[in-house]
Each structure stands twice: as structure tokens, then as C-alpha cells.
Structure 1
Amino acid sequence: MVCGTISGLTPGIHANMIAAFLLGFSPIILPYLGPEGMAAILIATLITHSFLEIIPATFLGVPDDGTALSVLPAHSLTMDGKGEEAVRISALGSLWGVIFAIPLALGALWFIPLLQTPIDILTGSLLILIMGIVIVRSESTGWLCALFLVSGLLGMFAFRFDYLSWNTLGAGNILMPLLTGLFGLPFLLTASEGRIPRQHYSGMEISTHTIIRSTLPGTFAGLVVGWLPGLSTASANTLVSGFIPYDEGRRNYLTAMGASTLANAIIGIAVFIAIGRMRNGVMTAFSGFDTPPVLFLLTIAAIVALGAYGITLGCAGLAQSLSGLNSSHLNTGVAVSLIIICGILTGPFGLIILILATAIGMIPELLVISRVPCMGVVTIPVILYSFGIRVI
């Protein structure tokens, strides 16, 4: 949980990097803790990170692959003085996501092997349907379609030449400059100047019934993304936005995304046990030693989720310390830090991708249109791959 807290709160550090680091020390850890102890460390890191990654998105506007579209509603609530509420809502959605996902993951152990072949074939068609619904429902269909295609071209280029990027400390991931440019830097560069409003928490302006109702599509999105081949947590942003507009129902969207992120992590365990597919770096680390029973893994996930929920609320309570900070200086500092981190982790090629992604990411800001089609950077390569067109 300490490892997950560090990775969740630190921009640019992902749970996958921590998993790779821990796996390197597995010859030392395994003799003392055994496979069960090693598995517990990895699961705890993943679950804790998934809870806490909303905090940089909320207070700093820094996107991770699981919080790309969450940056806008979460940070906008911060500018309304309700950053703590945004984190609490996301954490509660995450907790409900775990509650709903664990029994579904147990059921998935039975039906995933039966349905995997037809699902592999239909992945591209499902993604086209989802993105088509999002674009057609908008008022700027032409611009959104163009934005989706351009983002997809950038994604194809970045993934095709990913080998040109550095792999510093095993953390090189071309998704970092892509998502930072598309969702992080444009927001930071165009954010209003002044000081961060006084942060105060006077309760959540969303009912328990609404939270549970919003959690259901989020859990569904997490399960789908965690199951379908080639998708990542970033794809869940797109899927959830098809049910709940991120720029209208801010609190509902944050609840759904919290549930989606944790459901994705939980179903990843079931997919690995059922058919051996590794949906994230943590599951890849599992392949290096004997995997404990699935009930043990899910029990660890449930226990850690309760602890991570408490840690997230504790961090959210520190929101008042941000009151009065100069937002212009803060945004500039965060933007410079992100550029430096991208340069260190992905090298010159990563910086080129960051510049191109930022240029595309500025389009929604200038035209005041939805940013959802920017997720074409991930979905178009996956769609083409599912149809047998190898572009990466």
C-alpha cells in the first residue's frame, strides 16, 4: 500500500513501474514471503494506486491513463473550492466498483473462456459503435470526427515507433507523453490565472442512490475494458463518456470513472487466472512465479480497497492547504515538471510525441468542443488491430 500510495500521488510513476521494480527483487522477497506474500504486495500496489491516482488529476490537472478525461470535471470542482468533494466522490465510486466487481470476477472465471473467441472478433466493431455514439450525439460532429481521426493517426505513429523512446528505469511508456499532451498540458496552458479558491468541504452534493446508479455503468465499462484484448484503462474514459457526459454530470462522471478504474483492476485478475492474458504490468509480474488461488487474490484486493479508501480520504482532507496558492505559478510548475519527466522517462522521441499531442490537444480548447475523441489515440490502433490490420 505504501508503494501504491507513492506511485498514485507521483505524476509519471505508474503501478506497472513499481511492479517491475519489485519483480527485480523477487529473488530476495520470495524466499521470505513466498508466492502469497509477493502476490499480496503486487495486488496492494495496484489497488492503492488505482484509488489515489485521482488526486494529482484533481489538484494538479495531471492525467494518468486512468484519469485522462477525469482531469476536467475533477479540477473544475477544485476551482469551485470543492476539490475534496471530487476526491471523496471518486473514492466512493472506486469502493463501490470493488464491491460490484469481485462477484462478477468470480463469475467471469466460468464465462470468459467460453466467450473469448467471439469477443476477440467483435472488439473493433464494439469500439466503432461506442465512438460513433459519442460523436453523433455531439453538436460538432464534423470537428469531433476529424479530431478522432487525427488523434488516431498520432497514436498509430507513436506506437509504431515506440522503440525509439527511452525505457528509463523500466518506466518508458509512450502513453505518458500522448496523454499528457492531449489532456494535461492544454488544460494547464489555458487555465485561468489567479489564486486557487478556498477549499472547503460541506458534504457531497450527490445522493447515495445517484452514486450507486452511476457506479453501474462505470463498473460495466471497467469490466469490458479489462476483458477485451488490446484495451487499457484509458479506453474506459471513452466508454464511460458514452453513458455519462464528463462535462455535464461532473459528479456522476467521477463516480463512474472511480468504479471503472477499480473494476478494470479486479477483472484483470480474473482474466489472468481464466485464460492467462496479462492486462497490466502487475499481472505480467504474476507470470514470474506460482500464482496463488483466485479467492486469495480477491480477498487481498477487498482488504486493500478498504485501506486505500481511508488513505484517499486522508489525502483529500489536505485540500485546504492549497487555498490561496497562485494557480498560474502552480500550473506553470506542474507543466514544466511534466515536460521534464517525459524527457527523462521517454527521451527525445517522447518529447516529439508530447509536442504533437499538445498541438492536437489544444484544438478542443480553441473550438470549445468535447475532448473525448482525443481517445482515438488509443482506440483507432486497437480497432485496426482487431480487424487484423497490423499498424504497430
Structure 2
Amino acid sequence: MLRELILGMLGGTLTGLTPSLHVNTLASIVNNIELPISDFSFVLLVYVMGLTHTFLDAFPSTFFGVPDESVALSALPAHRLALQGKGLEVINLSLKASLLAAIFSIALIPLYLIIAPHYTPQIGRAIVFLLAFLIIVTEKGIKKLYALFVFLMAGILGIVSDQFPLNEPFYHLFVGLFGVPAILLSLDNNNKISGGDGKIEMSQSQLIAFSFLGTIFGMMASLLPTFTSSQAALIGSFIT
């Protein structure tokens, strides 16, 4: 078990600090290597990798692929703060929120164990379609059609990719969709980013409240198919 813990932390550190390298990618590679470990050990390895990754992935996601200042309004929140010279504040927020989320997750395990058995695939599909509907209708004007078009094209792309005779068809799909664009966009990026002093401009009560809300949405993401942490954050932004 100690071996899996150490390897998981090393793997999570690698994926967390490497831009566009996801835990699932490394887990897929490890699975294909067919290491002589039990199923439980593999699950433990992936879990530790994911937990470690959560604490460290804020570094590349904040400072890697930051756009030009001219498009700051359309940039991700972390990138907008980085352009304002508050990159270290983002890192500090992420680390503290991740720690609080881990603590809240442990405290909410009994509640999760009560809710999880009542979950069915039918409920999951219904909620996913509801979330997709909310994401589309919250766009303004003609952007609703754009959002619907992207949603449908993404679904078709997933269906087509699943038809290819590959061991991990979605592995190649995700690398192409998320890894390659981030690298290409950063090639011509000469921005000089100031990290700032790292001071968090948020009260402790707000930090705790938002961390708890993030934990709740994270629990939802673990139950619902195709519902990721990014989508959970988007839905959470509607509430806040």
C-alpha cells in the first residue's frame, strides 16, 4: 500500500504540474502497461494521483496558456486574475480550497453513502440533459444556437470516436481536444505575468462557504455521467 501511495503522489505531481496532462491519461497508460498489482492497488494508485493532482494543477492552469490582454474579458477567471498580476492569489486560493474540500468530503461521506444507493442511470441521464439545457439557455441571443450546435457536434464526435477499433478511443480524443489547443495557443504567447504577493482578497467565511459549495457540486460530478468539475463550477457560478 505504501508503494501505491508514493507512486500515486509522484504521478499526481507529474500530471498536476504538466500542462494538459490529465490523471486519466496517466492512469490509462499505467493500465495498458499491465503492472503486476491488484485491482485494489490500482484503484488506490489512481485515487492518490487524483487527490495530489487536485492540489497542484492550479499552477499550470493559471500560468500556462494565458491569452493576450486584449482578450482578457473572454479569458478564464484564473487567467484574468493572472493578467491582473494576481496569479499567486489564484494558487493560494486553490490550495486552501482544495484542503477545505478534502475535509468537507470526509465529513460528508455518511450523507454520500445515503444518497448514492438511490442513484440510477435514468436519473443521471435526466439531470445531464437538464444541465445541458441550463448551459444552453443561459447564453444570450444567437449564442444559444452556437451553444446548441457545439453540444450536438460534441455528442456526434464522441459517438463517432467510439466506433473506431481502439483500446482507448476517448484518450486520443481528449488529448486532441484539450492538450493540443493549449499548446498551440501558448506558442505565440509572450506575456510577462506577475505573480503578485499571493494575498487572498476574500474573507475566511466566504472562502469556507465557496469551498463547501464546491464540495457539494463535486459530489454531484462524481455521481452524474459526463458531468465534470468544470461543468460543476459553471453551474455554481449561476448560483453565486
* Normalised-by-shorter TM-score class: 0.7 to 0.9
**CA offsets 1:241-281 (integer angstroms, 9 cap, x no match):** 12206xxx9xx8xxxxxxxxxxxxxxxxxxxxxxxxxxxxx
Distance 1:14 1:238 in 2: 16
The aligned amino acid for 2:176 is P
Which of 49, 56, 81 is the matching residue for 1:77?
81
The CA deviation at 1:240 is 2.3
Contact 1:217 1:240 in 2 (8 A): no
The CA deviation at 1:98 is 1.0
Change (3 A) 1:201 1:236: same
The CA deviation at 1:222 is 1.1
Unaligned 5+ runs, structure 2: 1-8, 67-74
Residue matched to 2:123 = 122
**CA offsets 1:130-165 (integer angstroms, 9 cap, x no match):** 122222122132222222222322232233337187
Distance 2:79 2:160 in 1: 30
1:104 maps to 2:115: no
The CA deviation at 1:85 is 1.0
Residue matched to 1:87 = 91
Distance 2:232 2:169 in 1: 31
Which of 191, 207, 212 is the matching residue for 1:216?
212
Structural mapping, 1:5-84, within 5 Å: 5-16=13-24, 17=26, 20=30, 24-26=35-37, 42-61=46-65, 72-84=76-88
1:241 maps to 2:234: yes
The structure whose RCO (Cα within 8 Å, separation 6+) is larger is: 1
Contact 1:97 1:218 in 2 (8 A): yes
Contact 2:213 2:236 in 1 (8 A): yes
Change (3 A) 1:122 1:111: closer
Which of 142, 149, 152 is the matching residue for 2:152?
149
**CA offsets 1:215-238 (integer angstroms, 9 cap, x no match):** 23321221112123x336xx2312
Change (3 A) 1:2 1:14: same
Structural mapping, 1:217-232, within 5 Å: 217-228=213-224, 230-231=225-226
The CA deviation at 1:10 is 2.0
The aligned amino acid for 2:163 is R
Distance 2:169 2:127 in 1: 33
Change (3 A) 1:23 1:82: farther
Structure 1 vs Structure 2 CA RMSD? 3.5
Contact 1:51 1:91 in 2 (8 A): yes
Equivalent residue pairs, number: 219
Contact 1:130 1:239 in 2 (8 A): no
Distance 1:134 1:240 in 2: 12
Unaligned 5+ runs, structure 1: 28-34, 63-70, 253-392
Residue matched to 2:138 = 137
- Aligned to 1:26, the other structure's residue is in SS state coil
The CA deviation at 1:187 is 4.9
Contact 1:159 1:174 in 2 (8 A): no
Contact 1:9 1:53 in 2 (8 A): yes
Residue matched to 1:350 = none
Distance 2:186 2:147 in 1: 22
**CA offsets 1:348-386 (integer angstroms, 9 cap, x no match):** xxxxxxxxxxxxxxxxxxxxxxxxxxxxxxxxxxxxxxx
The CA deviation at 1:40 is 6.1
- Aligned to 2:93, the other structure's residue is in SS state helix
- Aligned to 2:236, the other structure's residue is in SS state coil
Distance 1:137 1:223 in 2: 23
- Aligned to 1:145, the other structure's residue is in SS state helix
Distance 1:146 1:79 in 2: 31
Contact 1:162 1:174 in 2 (8 A): no
TM-score, reference length from structure 2: 0.74
TM-score, reference length from structure 1: 0.48
Residue matched to 2:178 = 179
The aligned amino acid for 1:7 is T
What is the identity percentage for the equivalent residue pairs of Structure 1 and Structure 2? 25
Change (3 A) 1:186 1:205: farther
**CA offsets 1:87-111 (integer angstroms, 9 cap, x no match):** 1112222112111111222333344
Change (3 A) 1:150 1:61: same
The CA deviation at 1:24 is 0.8
